Chain A
Amino acid sequence: MKLTRRAATVVLAGSVMVGMAGCAKSDRTTDSNTASGSSSAGSGGGTASDTFTFGAAGAPEVFDPYYASDGETFRITRQIFQGLLGIKPGTADPQPELAESWEPSKDGLSWTFKLRQGVKFTDGEVFNAAAVCYNFERMFDQNEVAQAGPAEYWAYTMLGFKGSETESLYKSCEAKDDSTAVINLTRYTSDFPILLTLESFSMQSPKALKDGDANNVQKEGDGFKYPAYAMAPVGTGPYKLSKYDEANKTITLVRNDDFWGDKAKTANLVFKVIPDESTRRQELEAGSINAYDLPNPADWKGLEEKGNQVLVRPAFNILYMGLNPEKNDKLQDIRVRKAIYMALNRDELVQTQLPEGAKVATQFMPDTVAGYNTALQPMKYDPEAAKALLKEAGAEGMTLQFAYPSEVSRPYMPDPQKIHDALRANLEAIGIKVDVVTKPWNGGYLDGVDNGLFDAWLLGWTGDYNSANNFIGTFFGSDVNDFHTWKTDFGKTLSKELDDANGIVDEGERTTAYEAVNKKIMEDYLPGLPISHSPPALVVGKGVEGLTASPLTAEMFDTVTVTKS
């Protein structure tokens, strides 16, 4: 009896399996593995691989770059889409992409773009002036939900939307003829047209946008729900999306064989999502990925010794120590702020705590940005003078609550705790009592900075494009900011000076104006303390050639070749 029951169970289980197998059919068209195979002999004795695999730190948001805001998404969409303006490889400067040239009107309010001819979207639609205007009108005309959240980059750069309270910088777009598009602005900004290098301003197929109801973003519970188009992007770039396997966390792009420019050298581009950094490193060492971003500077040497290449990007960022004069009124006195600055031994910090190539900052922007004031010298490290200045200001032995984020690494701040330790020791050396506060990046730190909970803190910024307004305009353009400049006597003046500089159409005059503002910020206002510029890196494994590191982390993969040894 027992045996029969057991046998029955086995028979039942077996028939369920057979039944399921009957329903389940393989979707394979051929019986070979498509993405991981290799083909065609390469140079140098190795075999050229048809796949470049990148270890991504996070999953992409949506593939519609207009609604995206994070680096992991842009890294993928950059290979699929192109903008009117592109980025010169290895720099933060613009170069022609879908527009061959551009010309402003005298007042800088009207921009004429001459478009590249013979370009098609991957759905076969033609790229022309009408497509450009359709894209801009689409970006401008957003529902309330999208305006508040997902259309973040447009809100940040163009300020307002169609019908919104805040007036948009964008006014209209005219398609003069197939190859000429004119974009009109409501007022001049130095960020235009360079902001068009942002991934969010990529050109997308009007037909696909229309068919996929691309603007239909809705609120759903505590998040946003995107239309179908957001997962089925159609651009003009060297690659197109093939598959997003969410269960296996891999995104596969394939070469766009109808691309108007030089075709991508490697047929498949795979992004494998691996959130843990040490796992990414092990995957590279095992040869199962070809590259990953932001290796820990402490690992650079070890990675190179194993035959990998660490590609160091030019530093296009700033690390600063923020100060809050509202929270600690001693900080309202510029002598106290100066004394703190003089106490910081930044040369030593750069040499001991930051990766090779890091520089001491003299102002709130890197030296490649127009408006950088070359005459400014770094504040000299002088603890004795700092002490004297503190005494003069009546702030001897003051207490400073100084915060840093835990469990995070940022391109401008690889190891916040070590940087904080070094700076804290400097402050204590001049008799300041430091009250250390640490919170997880998204577990109270960012909230704490925005809500003014710390006297002093470490934070930074990586530029979006090469413009002074993108650095100092972001920090102090409004006096309601993290530095609480509204609490100082210069807050409003500084905002006005920045606004004025941003509105100067003549490039030379504007640069001079920004240089002057930078001087004032450092010598007369000192709202915060610029610390350093740090070069972030990415690492590629053996056999990978043709990848140019970008200061904007805007690397293109179409020039990459992979050789298997």
Chain B
Amino acid sequence: MLRFIVRRLVQMVGVVFVLSLLLFIWLRMLPGGTVSAILGDRATPESRARLEKALGLDQPIWVQYWAYLKRALTGNFGASTGVLPGRDAFDIFLTRFPGTIELSFFAILIAVILGIPMGYLAARRRASFFDNASVIVSLIGVAVPVFFLAFLLKYIFAVQLGWLPVSGRQSNIDATRVTGFFVLDGILTREWDAAWDAFKHLILPAFTLATIPFAVIFRITRASVLEVLDEDFVRTAESKGLTNRIIRGRHVLRNALLPVVTTIGLQVGGLLAGAILTESVFSFGGIGEALALAFEHRDYSVLQVLIMASAATFVIVNLLVDITYAVIDPRVRTR
């Protein structure tokens, strides 16, 4: 097991290094750039040249990369030029990462809590009204564009009904920050109003972000349960006279969940892609929104940190999934 983990960790370092190089080159090949973003319509040929020189962007790209690599290895990823000019890019990541984690956690929680039972029930009652209705709901979840769904949810629950806030992570209340996870901070410091306020801010974006993972988890669970229900061992269990509870719990669900766990892992890794849009339309201060802003401003330092960190997260989550897999199914370990 340990060897398995070490091997995967070494692979991870390689992936991150290659990615950093490709990313560095790709960003600088994009049309537009930091200088245009900073100067905007005030740019003149002279001011442009001056700023390019000051930022070292007139240097050959390999010189820039070498300087970046040397700095990055000491933990210095450069200062932001667009998202929060002057702030350390890694600090921006640290400030915003808890927001994305908090949002993703609730989103995946919603997707799992709804997706697995609904998928299971739909499979058990195949071709029933419930089955058909849930399949349609899951299809809508995938098909409706996020910005439209977000707009609609905000309009109904925030603007019209006034039950939930429109955007952001918390109202401007006097809240103590401990971990950066606003709900958790409120609980830890017993500032219940702050925790409740942060929680209310999470509901709409979490539901929006959950739509796609929910649809995927629901469908995989349904398909997987259907497949397992047809297996010989289920029939054997039934003929042995085991109770329905044991058959469903120990035989059907446990076997059907293997592909679902993989799917959840992939969905967690992929949540960041969804978070870019969801966080942007809810003005939710996580790394998804920061990525969109950094891209718009061609904020190289922040883009590099955020993309590298997201890639690392993705790789780590996948590693965790593989470990979970190995725990659930011992055969994986020996392969």
Interfacial residues, chain A to chain B (CB-CB below 8 A):
17, 20-21, 23-28, 33-36, 51, 53, 59, 61-62, 69-70, 144-145, 147-149, 152, 155-156, 219-226, 230, 245-250, 252, 270, 272-276, 278-279, 282-283, 285-286, 288, 410, 439-447, 450, 459-461, 478, 480-481
Contacts and interface: CB of A to CB of B under 8 A. Distances in A.
B176 A61 contact: no
Given A221-B77, A225-B79, A278-B151, 13 more contacts: A28-B176, A147-B50, A220-B79, A221-B78, A222-B81, A223-B55, A224-B85, A276-B280, A282-B151, A282-B166, A286-B162, A447-B33, A459-B41
Contacts of B104: none
A446 B32 CA distance: 7
A541 B192 CA distance: 30
A249 B283 contact: yes
B86 A62 contact: yes
A219 B71 CA distance: 12
A448 B22 CA distance: 25
Contact of B54 (A219, A272, A461): A219
15 contacts: A27-B174, A28-B174, A149-B50, A221-B68, A221-B77, A222-B81, A223-B80, A223-B301, A248-B172, A276-B167, A276-B281, A282-B158, A286-B162, A442-B33, A478-B44
Contacts of A156: 42, 47
A253 B193 CA distance: 23
B168 A226 contact: no
Nearest to A227: B86
B37 interface: yes
Interface stretch (B106-114, B182-190, B224-232): B182-190
B178 interface: yes
B72 to A, nearest CB: 9
B48 to A, nearest CB: 6
B31 A283 contact: no
Contacts of A480: 45-46
B34 A221 contact: no
Interface size bracket, B side: 35 or more
Interface stretch (B121-129, B132-140, B290-298): B290-298
A243 B46 CA distance: 37
Contacts of B50: 147-149, 155
B99 interface: yes
A247 B96 contact: yes
Contact of A272 (B172, B175, B187): B172
A224 B167 contact: no
Contacts of B42: 69, 152, 156
B263 interface: no
Interface string B222-244: 00000000000000000000000
A226 B71 CA distance: 18
B300 interface: yes
A406 B311 CA distance: 30
Interface string B144-180: 0000000100110011001001111111111111111
A248 B159 contact: no
Interface string B79-103: 1110111111100000110110000
A25, A27, A247, A276 — most chain B CB neighbours (10 Å): A247
Contacts of B280: 275-276
Interface in B31-69: 31-34, 36-48, 50-51, 53-57, 68
B191 interface: yes
A222 B172 contact: no
B168 A461 contact: no
Contacts of B289: 275
B115 interface: no
A453 to B, nearest CB: 10
B285 interface: yes
A26 B193 CA distance: 12
Contact of B281 (A59, A152, A279, A285): A279
B11 interface: no
B313 interface: no
B189 A460 contact: no
Q: Please name the 5 residue pairs, one residue from A and one from B, whose CB atoms are nearest each other, closest first.
A: A221-B78, A148-B54, A444-B31, A223-B79, A24-B188
Given A230-B86, A288-B165, A442-B297, A222 B78 contact: yes
Contacts of A51: 172
A273 B155 CA distance: 19
Nearest to B85: A61
Contacts of B165: 286, 288
A250 B31 CA distance: 32
B10 interface: no
Contacts of B55: 149, 219, 222-223
A249 B168 contact: yes
Contacts of A440: 31-32
B324 interface: no
Given A223-B85, A247-B95, A155 B151 contact: no
Given A286-B162, A442-B297, A460-B41, A279 B54 contact: no
B54, B83, B95, B176 — most chain A CB neighbours (10 Å): B54
A286 B158 contact: yes
Contact of B38 (A149, A248, A285): A149
Contacts of B95: 246-247
B73 interface: no
B120 interface: no
A497 B169 CA distance: 55
Contact of A21 (B47, B162, B180, B188): B188
B290 to A, nearest CB: 10
Contacts of A230: 86
A221 B71 contact: yes
A446 B47 CA distance: 13
A17 B183 CA distance: 13
A226 B86 contact: yes
A21, A249, A282, A480 — most chain B CB neighbours (10 Å): A249
